[in-house]
Amino acid sequence: MAGGQETRSVEVRRLTTLAELGEAVRLQKEIWGFEDIELLPLRLFVVAQKVGGQTLGAFDGERMVGFLLSIPGLKQGQMYLHSHMMGVRPEYRNSGLGRAMKLMQREDAIARGIQLVQWTFDPLELKNAYFNIERLGAVVKLFVLNQYGTTTSHLHGGLPTDRCVAEWHLTSERVLSLLEGRPRPALAVEQRIEVPIDIAGIRASDVMRAREIQGEVSEKFVRYFGAGLTVVGFEKSAEKGTYLLGKWDSK
């Protein structure tokens, strides 16, 4: 596929050995550029595997090219999975591999009676936003300011780690219609949040301007979510990415 390696030869499966889990730990540094102190340790991967989380890997032959880690959570009496980290080697991005790992995550969760998966993402990462909302059918109802503090990752550009919380309601009509190629239920759009399409370049060349944009975007998320709205769609153009907000429930 354009922009990445073909996924035909890539197998997605559970990670089972300490060596495989250790390779996932190492991949964190390659993908995000974290310093050692910020890496999720091997022990966490082992615990997640033992207590009902998910440790998935993508392999091109014997080489691990991506991984996914989730941990179980409990909120208001509902069991769910918090999908904490998913990464793909740079040369395998835009290949469909991320979606393949998420679909295996969904299949495994449903088989265990779990209906909800959540994860956080940076609202300035517009490719991720499109993937989460338009390719997977996730919605967003919650926003967290500076969730992880300022990190050493070059991908975060020294900015506060403001995060959207994606909710993937695995058997909702929204998700089922998307995965089956049927039209999604129409929803009225009440508000929009726009982000410049070249935000990645701005973040790399002008951190102060990027911080201004981030602050404006974050303020709108907090205000609109406080008014009971949900991100129900995402549009892209040559100039901007736009979050579409309206009323929504999980049915």
The CATH number of the domain holding residue 35 is: 3.40.630.30
pTM higher than the cut 0.85: yes
Of 171, 189, 197, 173, which is closest to residue 231 (Cα–Cα)? 189
Residue 102, domain member (yes or no): no
Last residue of one domain, picked from the residues 40, 68, 86? 86
Query: CA torsion 79→84→90→91, rounded to 10°?
Result: -20
Residues paired with residue 119 on neighbouring β-strands, in sequence order: 166
Structural domain total, the chain: 2
81, 12: one domain = yes
Question: What one-character DSSP code corresponds to residue 186?
Answer: P
Of 161, 241, 234, which is closest to residue 198 (Cα–Cα)? 241
Q: What is the CA radius of gyration of the chain?
A: 18
Tens-binned pLDDT, residue by residue, of the chain (251 aa): 334 444 458 899 999 999 999 999 999 888 887 777 778 899 999 999 999 999 999 999 999 999 999 999 998 888 999 999 999 998 898 888 999 999 999 999 999 999 999 999 999 999 999 999 999 999 999 999 988 776 545 554 567 889 999 999 999 999 999 999 898 878 899 999 999 999 989 988 998 999 999 999 999 999 999 999 999 999 999 999 999 999 987 65
Query: CA torsion 36→13→136→28, rounded to 10°?
Result: 10
Residue 39, domain member (yes or no): yes
Of 47, 92, 33, which is closest to residue 67 (Cα–Cα)? 92
77, 168: one domain = no
240, 131: one domain = yes
Name the residue range of residue 210's domain: 115-251
